[in-house]
Amino acid sequence: MTTWVFRLSQAAAMVGGLVLVALTLMSVASIAGRALIGFGLGPVPGDFELVEVGIGVAVFLFLPWTHLRGGHATVDLLYQHLPAALRRVIRVVCDVLMLALWLVLTWKLWDGMLEKRAYLETSFILQMPVWWGYAAGLAGAVIGCLAYLTQALIDLGLAEYPAGWPRPEAGGH
């Protein structure tokens, strides 16, 4: 079970990277278009709307992989000096609390998506349905729930870290 969650999280992070590359290229084209208005070019219509949605989606796609790889910022000043058993308890408690937070976040994204869809809310310039952004973010949130659940199960000893995946090392931040 853990291997496919790791693969799914890694693939989501790669898709998030592609989203950021596309947003970067679009922003460069929009800025260049603004600079070249005298030559008949112009900005990309709705560029800030696309960046707003795209960045949110990319963040949701990155966070599951970040967590599974131990990439969240930690304060190791005190943590490194604690006994191993206490560090494990702290890790488990944090993972379970983060799973609970992600479950609530996913639930509220679902509610928000349904509300935006029911009221046919659209963006100002592109008239793009707002619920599309919620749906894309929701996909990343569901993957995040799976990642946090998987990590909590690994920390509790109920699942194993996938074979062949390099383990994250604490204190490397």
Tracing tokens 């990155």 back to the chain, one arrives at: 62
Tokens of 161: 């870290």
pLDDT at residue 125 in the model? 95
Q: 77, 60, 58: which is closest to 20 by C-alpha?
A: 58
Question: From CA 32, how far away is CA 59, in angstroms rounded?
Answer: 26
Convert 134-155 to b/e letters by CB count within 10 Å (16 or more is b). bbbbbebbbbbbbbbbbbbbbb
| Chain segment 79-122, per-residue pLDDT in tens | 888 898 998 898 899 889 999 999 999 999 999 999 999 999 99
